[in-house]
């Protein structure tokens, strides 16, 4: 949960993974690393791509979602 507090329970003890082994394919040869944020009060989990260059690559290669 990047913005605090937890959107599920209002808890403020949010922990972020130090590293991740999970990736999201962006192009056939590139992927983005996912980082997890967990509320230790209720177990709510959110996943983020935190590197700006990976977000830029997604914007360049993925189509916008239909409304």
Whole-number pLDDT of residue 3? 62
d(CA 11, CA 5): 6
Mean pLDDT of the chain: 90
Kindly report whether the global pTM for this prediction surpasses the value 0.75: no
pLDDT at position 18 is 84
Tens digits of per-residue pLDDT, 21-45? 789 999 999 999 999 999 999 999 9
Per-residue pLDDT, 2: 62
With cut-offs at 50, 70 and 90, classify the pLDDT of residue 59. Answer: very high
* Chain centroid, CA 21 distance in Å: 13
Residue 18 CB contacts under 8 Å (≥ 6 apart), including other chains: none
């Amino acid at each position: 949960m990047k913005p605090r507090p937890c959107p599920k329970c209002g808890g403020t003890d949010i922990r972020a993974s130090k590293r991740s082994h999970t990736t999201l394919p962006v192009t056939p040869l590139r992927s983005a690393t996912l980082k997890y944020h967990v509320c230790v009060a209720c177990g709510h989990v959110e996943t983020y791509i935190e590197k700006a260059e990976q977000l830029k690559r997604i914007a360049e290669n993925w189509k916008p979602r239909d409304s």
